[in-house]
């Protein structure tokens, strides 16, 4: 029954996608973040639904009257530069089927992301995608939180099979990145019951994050909590939530959880467990590889051959377990530099939005969203230091959302000046009061 329902929703959406391509963007977000077809046990589990929706979405977009271009703000330009550099490092790296598959996967993600960016021409569209993303990820936060509470935190919480955040560590980071988005939706919602529902998702997500038993997620969570408090317009509310919820959450976790968290910091490198030692080994391998090869090792950098040449312990072969060392090992110091510049430019884009709407009550939502998405970037930047999620969809969706918001804000600034036309918004997306 579940398979039939999921299949009916997915394939039933195709006619609507061709009628309105933006529905394809929403369906893609739902499938990417919730991975609903993997929740079934029958025929739908193995269907290439992501590919079907992606092809329908791209075809509908190409045939539609939607605008086909959008401003190449610095973050978008830097994504293109990063993709060009990845193309070069892929060509230079030794022949390997895995690297080709990974490169094609990254290109597919970025192509869909760029098309979604073009379609984010209004506040309504931006918030619709945020609702889909927040609900899709929040489903696992709510489900995992209830599981953690019911099991007393003894069992680990895992993400959806087949998704980017299937692992417990990846799920913890993804839920952390989602909490600021949920917070924005709470601040913008007028319905009391919706607010309470979203608050329940946030609270259960906190328990779910603790239930992942991820040390990296705990470190990132502390950073996000502090930054979320600093950026929130309602500091007293968040202070109350933190004071009441966090002690209860920590006390409710079992002794095994506290023992694991106590190993985050050790007196000596040799005192860390095998998991952390494996990360150190992989990081040193990536650093040595980048020193030796300008273009890095490509998408197959963490091969047995490279560990044999560059790792302190050649037998301990691991994934990079860090977005920074992942970029360094796979694409060299140049690739890492481009990646870091992309982060800085995105942060600057958010600050531009906050500055431009400072004295504009009507666009206060844009400043709030920019602040909340900065919190999500803090989660990615801190938690990602311990996870190899450099190509995960969500941070790039946050980037295009911040740029899209800046586009709307700059269009509004231009609209207030005589003779300055709207530079990005589609005519149908311009509010009626601005048309007049």
Provide the percentage of residues in the chain whose pLDDT is more than 90.
54
Q: Is the pLDDT of residue 332 over 80?
A: yes
Q: Across the chain, what does the average pLDDT equal?
A: 86
Residue-level pLDDT at 66: 92
303 and 423 housed in the same domain: yes
Whether residue 51 is found in the same domain as residue 109: no
Whether residue 163 is found in the same domain as residue 79:
no
Tell me the range of 92-106, 160-174, 336-350 where mean pLDDT is highest. 336-350
pLDDT of 233: 67
At 391 the pLDDT is 93
Of 231, 265, 299, the residue at which a domain comes to its end is 265
Q: Which domain holds residue 434?
A: 73-119+275-436
Listed residues 265, 298, 327: the one ending a domain: 265
Q: Are residues 142 and 176 in the same domain?
A: yes
Range in 30-39, 119-128, 189-198 the model is least confident about: 30-39
Structural domain ending residue among the three candidates 230, 265, 300: 265
pLDDT reading at 272 higher than 90:
no
Cα–Cα dist 105/96, whole Å: 15
Task: Provide the number of structural domains found in the chain.
Answer: 3
Q: 186 with 283, same domain?
A: no
Same domain, 254 and 135: yes
Residues 298 and 410 in one domain: yes
Same domain, 228 and 144: yes
Same domain? For 83 and 213 the reply is no
- In the predicted structure, residue 431 carries a pLDDT above the cut 50: no
Least confident interval from 179-193, 363-377, 416-430? 416-430
Residue 270 lies in a domain: no
Specify if 246 maps to a domain. Answer: yes
Q: Report yes or no on 39 lying in a domain.
A: yes
The predicted pLDDT at position 419 comes to 47
Is residue 356 included in any domain, yes or no?
yes
Q: Are residues 285 and 398 located together in one domain of the fold?
A: yes
Please determine, for residue 74, whether its predicted confidence score (pLDDT) is greater than 90.
yes
Residue 318's pLDDT band, with cuts at 50, 70 and 90, is confident
Q: What are phi and psi of 20, to 5 degrees?
A: -140, 100
Tens digits of per-residue pLDDT, 121-151? Answer: 999 999 999 999 999 999 999 999 999 988 8
Query: Which pLDDT score is estimated for 293?
Result: 94
The length of the chain is 436
pLDDT, tens only, 378-430: 999 999 988 889 999 999 999 999 999 999 998 888 877 544 444 444 444 44
User: Over 70: is that where the pLDDT of 63 sits?
Assistant: yes
Mean pLDDT of 254-274: 72
Shared-domain flag, residues 138 and 246? yes
For residue 336, the model assigns a pLDDT of 97
**155 assigned to some structural domain:** yes
Cα distances (angstroms) measured from residue 239 to each of 142, 193, 223, 245, 356: 22, 22, 15, 10, 28
Model confidence at 26: pLDDT above 80: yes
Render pLDDT for 204-247 as a digit per residue (tens, 0 to 9).
Answer: 998 899 889 888 888 888 888 888 777 776 667 667 666 666 67
State the pLDDT at residue 415. 75
- 105 and 36 within one domain: no
């Amino acid at each position: 029954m579940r398979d039939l329902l999921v299949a009916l929703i997915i394939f039933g959406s195709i006619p609507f996608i061709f009628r309105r391509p933006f529905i394809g963007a929403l369906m893609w977000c739902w499938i990417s973040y919730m991975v609903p077809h993997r929740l079934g046990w029958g025929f739908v589990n193995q269907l290439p639904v992501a590919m079907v929706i992606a092809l329908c979405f791209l075809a509908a977009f190409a045939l539609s009257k939607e605008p086909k271009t959008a401003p190449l703000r610095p973050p978008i330009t830097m994504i293109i530069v990063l993709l060009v550099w990845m193309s070069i490092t892929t060509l230079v790296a030794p022949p390997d089927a895995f690297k080709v598959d990974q490169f094609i996967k990254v290109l597919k993600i970025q192509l869909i992301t760029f098309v979604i960016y073009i379609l984010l021409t209004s506040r309504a569209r931006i918030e619709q995608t945020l609702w889909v993303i927040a609900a899709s990820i929040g489903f696992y936060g709510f489900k995992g939180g209830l599981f953690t509470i019911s099991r007393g935190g003894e069992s680990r919480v895992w993400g959806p099979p087949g998704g980017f955040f299937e692992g417990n560590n990846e799920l913890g980071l993804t839920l952390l990145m989602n909490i600021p988005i949920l917070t924005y939706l709470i601040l913008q919602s007028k319905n009391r019951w919706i607010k309470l529902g979203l608050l329940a998702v946030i609270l259960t997500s906190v328990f779910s994050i603790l239930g992942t038993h991820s040390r990296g997620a705990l470190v990132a969570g502390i950073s996000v909590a502090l930054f979320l408090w600093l950026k929130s317009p309602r500091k007293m509310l968040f202070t109350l939530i933190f004071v009441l919820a966090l002690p209860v959450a920590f006390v409710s976790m079992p002794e095994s959880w506290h023992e694991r968290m106590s190993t985050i910091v050790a007196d000596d490198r040799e005192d860390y467990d095998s998991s952390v030692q494996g990360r150190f080994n992989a990081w040193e391998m990536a650093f040595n590889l980048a020193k030796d090869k300008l273009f890095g090792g490509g998408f197959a950098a963490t091969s047995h051959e490279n560990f044999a040449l560059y790792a302190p312990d050649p037998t301990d072969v691991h994934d990079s377990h860090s977005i920074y060392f992942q970029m360094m090992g796979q694409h060299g110091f140049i690739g890492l530099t481009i990646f870091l510049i992309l982060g800085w430019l995105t942060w600057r884009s958010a600050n531009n939005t906050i500055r431009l709407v400072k004295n504009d009550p009507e666009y206060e939502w844009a400043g709030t969203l920019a602040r909340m998405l900065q919190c999500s970037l803090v989660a990615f930047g801190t938690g990602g230091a311990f996870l190899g999620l450099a190509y995960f969809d969500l941070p790039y969706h946050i980037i295009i959302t911040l740029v899209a918001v800046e586009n709307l804000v700059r269009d509004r600034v231009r609209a207030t000046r005589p003779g300055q036309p709207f530079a990005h918004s589609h005519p149908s997306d311009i509010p009626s009061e601005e048309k007049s």
